[in-house]
Amino acid sequence: MHESHTHEFLPWTEKYRPKKIDEIIGQSNIKNIIESLVKKRMLPHMMFAGPPGVGKTTMAMALAHELYGEDIKGNFLELNASDERGIDIVRGKIKDFARSIGSGGSEKIGFKIIFLDEADALTSDAQQALRRTMEIYSDVTRFILSCNYSSTIIEPIQSRTAVFRFLALSREDIEVMVKRVEKEEGITIDHDAKEAIFYISEGDMRRAMNIMQGASFHSKKITSELVYGLGSAAHPEIIREIMKLAFDGKFMEAKKKSESIMIKYGLSGEDMVVQFYKELPSLDIDELKKVYLIDKIGEYNFRIVEGANEKIQIDALLAQFMLAKNGKQ
């Protein structure tokens, strides 16, 4: 009973994490290559690059499970480089594991695996030290690096790894997991709520799972209102309405609506600006005015990120919509 109780409160990102490569959703081309390498037991050093929540960590862990089975603990080291990012971690924990003797699994396979998640957080000095460690212990240890941006990894490491570029998951990929969760958790997600999950997650399965789990704590019947509230986003139609009001010269009405939406959904100024950016292309206005407003959205986003008062900046941005309509840009 204790085990099932613990399992019930696991994060769904862990509860539904696939243990086998072929169970991973999406990334079909990468899955095929990795499965072939695992079967041949001929793994190079690898780099998994791509946006968050698309299966990079899951792929590394599934790969290790298939290689080592029950012997995974002594042969697979997972480190989050954003927590342990300095040169000392490379010279200490990583080097010690790389040169240590593994358990039975590595004797059969011929090597251990070190998985560095969020490797783009490693300092330059740490990356230089890592490069040397990869060279010295390549016979007995393989490295898998996961990062959002491969360009932040130094060239000597990139040239020593096979780079696999993960793509954002498609709507169909997210839908597969939504249906599975809906069935196994005994919850109901209405059509508009599913649309909201797709809209907010933007191909990030981790975010979609966290939103669904958070919503399930509130109700077994999940609505779009609940999803938008938990996802720090307003309904796209409301955002478009605010922009249209401002563009049509109804500035005070747009200002009041934006303020009430920020309070209702708990949105930050940056959240609002990002949604303006997402919805602007669908606004029925002249193309040249869209170009001008996208430029302004970028400018006001920078101001907010740099610490300017977000309410003032949102109002100033809405003023730009009104100015754009009247040709004052």
Give the pLDDT of residue 328: 61
Architecture of domain 2-165: 3-Layer(aba) Sandwich (3.40)
* H or E stretch covering 199: helix 191-201
CA distance 95 to 160: 17
Angle between helices 251-265 and 236-247 (to 10 degrees): 160
Phi, then psi, of 116 in degrees rounded to 5 = -105, 100
- Report yes or no on whether pTM surpasses 0.75: yes
Give the pLDDT of residue 4: 41
Average confidence (pLDDT) over 293-320: 95
The hierarchical CATH code for the domain 236-325 is 1.20.272.10
Average confidence (pLDDT) over 236-241: 94
Count CB atoms within 10 A of the CB of residue 297: 18
Average confidence (pLDDT) over 127-145: 87
The token pair that represents 270 in the structure block: 């940056």
Mapped onto helix, strand or coil, the DSSP state of residue 222 is: strand
Q: Specify whether the CB–CB gap between 73 and 112 falls below 8 A.
A: no
pLDDT in tens, 260-296: 999 988 899 999 999 999 999 999 998 999 999 999 9
The hierarchical CATH code for the domain 171-230 is 1.10.8.60
Nearest one of 218, 217, 215, 173 to 196, comparing CA atoms? 215
Mapped onto helix, strand or coil, the DSSP state of residue 142 is: strand
pLDDT beyond 70 at 94: yes
Name the residue ranges covered by the structural domains of the chain: 2-165, 171-230, 236-325
User: What distances in angstroms separate CA 156 from CA 108, 124, 246, 293, one per listed residue?
Assistant: 30, 12, 51, 41
Give the pLDDT of residue 232: 84
pLDDT in tens, 44-73: 999 999 999 999 999 999 999 998 888 888
Q: Specify whether the CB–CB gap between 196 and 228 falls below 8 A.
A: yes
**In 153-206, beta strands by DSSP E:** 162-165, 188-189
CA distance 232 to 240: 16
